[in-house]
Structure 1
Amino acid sequence: MPADPQQRRAARHAQAGPDGAPAPRKTPITTDRITDAALQVIATEGYEALTIRRVATLLDTGPSSLYAHIVNKDDLDDLIMGRLYAEIVLPEPDPATWREQLREVYGQIRDQYLKYPGVARAAMAMVPTHLETLRVGEGLLALALAGGIEPRAAAWAVDALMLYVGAYTLERSLVQQRRQNHGDEWVLSHDELVGRMRGLPEDRFPHTRAHAAELAAGSGHDRFDFALDLVIGNLGK
């Protein structure tokens, strides 16, 4: 096993198998355990709480023990995203149903992000190098190409939709965080929002007042699905 963490990272990108030697009596620190602990921090405290020191504390060790296996916080982000993307199931590209397949895969990614509040920050701030992350990118591109989309348009659409998934889930996590830290008074209810928009000066906000209900409409993932349909539904037209 390479001793240098940079070499370890290169080895992870060159092969899909896990690293690590046979476990001694004491459970060793491994990249898998580090990733498990990092996801536990995010799930319970949010991505903003994630630090090398916080993960080390959870594993009952010191930060130096982690640096024997990872390079830095960016490397940890790479491991986290690789773990999440390993759960994504990619369909065999079907030219007849490629749009529905794209929607389904992006829905899986959305749900993975929502399990770990704020984890989209990790995805949006890094260049993906983990093989599982790259596997999903390859699969999404294959689905778009199966629809006969010109390669550059397919690549840009896949990237744009990934950015939207990140922004959507990050917004959801921020709302959740505000509710937890400040109470519901920081987040307006649907009726309060409509009421405020309808109470705006009519001479300056005629459209907002007239269409307040539409501006505040939507529940669950309605708006998410709408945005995906705007892009995917118009690809190839």
Structure 2
Amino acid sequence: MPSDPRQRRAARHAPPAGDAAPSPKRPLTVDRITDAALQVVATEGYDALTIRRVAAVLGTGPSSLYAHIVNKDDLDDLLVGRLCAAVALPEPDPATWRTQIVDAYAQIRDQYLKYPGVSRAALGTVPTNLDALRVREGLFAILLAGGVEPQAAAWALDALSLYVSAYALEQSLVQQRRKHPDDEWVLGREELLSRFTALPADSFPQTRRYAAELTSGSGHDRFEFTLGLLIDSIERRG
């Protein structure tokens, strides 16, 4: 310890020796890039997702990301893979295969809904990420266990996955519109019911008569109903 009181005082106010040098920068990895991309989607929506935006979140330049990913499509593949990694798949059971399919797709739906618009990343692409392929393999195995013929099962996967992606995208669009100052475009059930029952009876007799049925059910009720319709069709073909 310094003998001079002034030196001792200066030493007390000096930063610790460990803080004198800047901490080493965390290395950029595919996992960190994926984390940052999900952060952008969660806070700003999928439309805001760009390579430049992700780079800004990571405190680096876009060129740094290209050392780890190919392009935006590659980033989309990583996002879908990360979300699929959270999906738990059961051992295919011929006795409960219908319930297993609905449960698995409900998990995928819920993952998509956490990140507004992210299901667009799954549209128009063939998955190559191993986690996404794991889920596809598991869903395919469940359909086959249910006695669905392989060709019908293969095409059924496309139809079911397309519906789930579209459903999640629609839900994200509704939420986005509700945040808009002019939110009159997103009507609640009571308002819809009121408008339907007020329509001219001579032009809209069925809409007036069945307004309650047309406006009934939550989004998830309709989700399970539609999956049931698709599965019924698959079962008949199988």
Scaled by the length of structure 2, what TM-score is found?
A: 0.86
Is the radius of gyration larger for structure 1 or structure 2? 2
* Aligned 1:91-106 pairs, distance under 5 A: 91-106=90-105
Q: Residues of 2 paired with 1:61 and 1:226: CA distance? A: 46
Q: CA deviation at 1:122?
A: 0.4
Match of 1:156 in 2: 155
Match of 2:125 in 1: 126
Q: How large is the RMSD of aligned CA atoms in angstroms?
A: 1.4
Match of 2:10 in 1: none
Q: Residues of 2 paired with 1:137 and 1:67: CA distance? A: 28
Structure 1: any 5+ residue segments left out of the alignment?
1-23
* Aligned 1:1-237 pairs, distance under 5 A: 25-182=24-181, 184-237=183-236
Matched residue type, 1:208: T
Identity value in percent:
68
Q: CA deviation at 1:185?
A: 2.3
Q: Residues of 2 paired with 1:223 and 1:149: CA distance? A: 24
Q: Residues of 2 paired with 1:182 and 1:116: CA distance? A: 22
Greater shift, 195-204 or 26-35, is seen at: 195-204
> What SS does the aligned partner of 1:181 have?
coil
Q: CA deviation at 1:181?
A: 2.2
Residue deviations 1:145-179 (CA, integer Å, cap 9, x gap): 00111111111212111111011111110010011
Q: Residues of 2 paired with 1:183 and 1:33: CA distance? A: 37
Q: Residues of 2 paired with 1:120 and 1:183: CA distance? A: 25
Structure 1 consecutive aligned stretches of length 4 or more whose deviation exceeds 4 Å: none
Matched residue type, 1:39: L
Q: Residues of 2 paired with 1:165 and 1:226: CA distance? A: 12
Instruction: Please say if residues 199 and 209 of structure 1, whose CA atoms lie closer than 8 Å, have aligned partners that are also in contact.
Output: yes
Scaled by the length of structure 1, what TM-score is found?
A: 0.87
Match of 1:8 in 2: none
Q: CA deviation at 1:235?
A: 3.0
When the two structures are aligned, how many residues end up with a matched partner? Answer: 214
Q: Residues of 1 paired with 2:204 and 2:231: CA distance? A: 32
Q: Residues of 2 paired with 1:188 and 1:79: CA distance? A: 35
Q: Residues of 2 paired with 1:125 and 1:141: CA distance? A: 19
